[in-house]
Structure 1
Amino acid sequence: MDGAGQFTGWDEAAFDVLLRLDGEPSSELMREVRKDRERLVREPMVSLLHDLAWADPAFEDHSVWRYGKTAWWWQNQSAVVRVAPNIEIGLRFNLDGLRVQGAWWYADTLQIGRFRAAVAAEPSGSELGDLVSDLRNKGFEITGDLLKRVPRDYPTDHPRADLLRHRSLLAVRHLGCDDWLKTPEAVDRVLATHRQLSPLLSWLTANVGAERGR
C-alpha cells in the first residue's frame, strides 16, 4: 500500500510477546519469539512511521531499529526521525506503552559550544527558556546530560544557568498504553505531540544544528 492507513494499532498480543521478553530473557527465548516480535511489535512501528511520514513530511527521514545483542533492544522497539545533525524525534514502544521525545544529543564540542552561546545570548536564550518551561507545563519531562556546574566561561549566577549545564537536551512525553494505542488513533496522538515539540526542534535546528551562514 502506497498511501496512508497502514497502521491499525498494536495488538494485545504484542504486549504478550514483550512480557515474555521481560527481565533477562535467554538467547533461546529471543530466537523463539523473534518472528512473533517482528510481526506484532516491529511491523506496527514501521506502519506507524509510514503513516506519520504520509501525514507530515517532517517524519520522512526515519529508521525503525531492528535487533541488538542485548535484551534491551528486544524489550524496546525504537524508531528515530532525523531533523538536523544530532537533533531527532524518537519513538519507543514497550510494556509501558508509547513514548515520544524531541532530542538534541551525541553532539561534538563545536555544537555544544553553539548551544551554550545561544543559551547565554538574547533573545535566543530567553526564547529557549520559555519553550522549555512551556513543554514542562504541558507534562513533558525535560532531561539530558548535565554538567555538575555551570561551564567556566559563563557566570555561575547566569539567569539560565541550568540550561547552560546541558550537554544534551531532551523533552520526553510518555503517552502510555491506553486503548487508543491499539487503534489508528496513535497516529494523531504522535502528530499532536510533535506539534508541541516543533518549536523546540526549530530552535535547536536554527541555533545548534548547523553553523551560522550554512
Structure 2
Amino acid sequence: MPRQFAGWDESAFDVLLRLDGEPSQEVMRETRKDRERLVRQPMVSLLHDLAWEDPAFEDHSVWRYGKTPWWWQNQSAVARVARNIEIGLRFNLDGLRVQGAWWYADSEQISRFRAAVAAEASGRVLVDVVAELRGRGFEITGDLLKRVPREYPADHPRAALLRHRSLLAVRHLGSDERLHTPEVVDRVLATYGELRPLLTWLTTHVAACVPPAISD
C-alpha cells in the first residue's frame, strides 16, 4: 500500500512560530485551519503509515486541540502498547521526538515495577536495557522519588531505578531536512525497534493485562 505521509512542509514551522509564546485566542482561531492542514494532518498520515507497517502502532490516537497554548504548540500522538505503556510522538518547533513511556501508573503497577527491578534476574535485564538505550543516545527520564522506597535498602544495587514512578526513554529526531520527507516513517520504525526491549520488559513485568503482541 502506498504511504500517505510525505513529510512536514516548511510552512508547518511558520504556523508553529505564530503560536509560539503566549498566543491570543484570536491568533489560535486564525491559525487553526493551517495548523490542522500543515501540522496535525501529517501526523495523522504518519501514524497511518506506521500502523500499516507494524501492528504495534495500530491502537493509536492523534491529539486534537486543547484550551491552553501548549496543545497548539505541540502536536502529539500515542500508540498504546499495554496499560500505561505507550509509544509517543511529538512534533513542535524543535522537530520530532519519539519516546517509549510507562507513566500515569497506579500504586499496583508501581509496586510491580519495583518488585521486578529488585528481583535479580529481571532487574539486571532492565539495567542492561536502560544502559543500552543511554549508549544509543536516548534520554532516560521519569518521575523520581527523592529517596529509595522505604521497603528497599538505600544501598540497593538498582537504587536509581527503584526511585522511578514512571520511566521514559526519549529520542529527539530533530528538525533537519529529513523531517520534510517520507523517510520519517522509517526513522520512527527504527527508533521503535531500539525501544522494543524496554517496552517488552515493561509489558511483561508491569502491565496488568495481556497486551497486544509486540512484533519482532
Give the TM-score, by structure 1 length.
0.97
- 2:161 maps to amino acid: L
Q: In the alignment, is residue 196 of structure 1 matched against residue 194 of structure 2?
A: yes
In the alignment, what sits opposite 1:75?
Answer: 73
Q: Following the alignment from structure 2 to structure 1, what is the Cα–Cα distance between the partners of residues 101 and 189?
A: 16
Q: Is the 8 A contact 1:4 1:50 kept in 2?
A: no
Q: Compute the RMSD of aligned alpha carbons.
A: 0.9
Alignment of 1:16-165 (within 5 A): 16-165=14-163
Q: Following the alignment from structure 1 to structure 2, what is the Cα–Cα distance between the partners of residues 182 and 89?
A: 21
- 1:106 maps to amino acid: Y
Structure 1: 4+ residue segments shifted above 3 A: none
In the alignment, what sits opposite 1:178?
Answer: 176
Identity of aligned residues (%): 80
- 1:50 maps to amino acid: H
1:4 deviates by 4.0
1:180 deviates by 0.6
Q: Following the alignment from structure 1 to structure 2, what is the Cα–Cα distance between the partners of residues 197 and 59?
A: 13
Q: Is the 8 A contact 2:65 2:71 kept in 1?
A: yes
What CA deviation, in whole Å up to 9, does each residue of 1:51-103 have, x standing for no partner? 00001011000000000000000000000000000000000000000000000
Q: Following the alignment from structure 1 to structure 2, what is the Cα–Cα distance between the partners of residues 202 and 15?
A: 35
Give the TM-score, by structure 2 length.
0.96
What CA deviation, in whole Å up to 9, does each residue of 1:130-171 have, x standing for no partner? 000100010000000000000000011100000000000000
Q: Following the alignment from structure 2 to structure 1, what is the Cα–Cα distance between the partners of residues 156 and 181?
A: 47
- 2:67 maps to amino acid: K
What CA deviation, in whole Å up to 9, does each residue of 1:172-208 have, x standing for no partner? 0000011010000000000000000000000000000
Q: Is the 8 A contact 1:4 1:54 kept in 2?
A: no
In the alignment, what sits opposite 1:5?
Answer: 3
Where does the alignment leave 5 or more consecutive residues of structure 1 unmatched? none
SS of corresponding position for 2:120? coil
SS of corresponding position for 2:155? coil
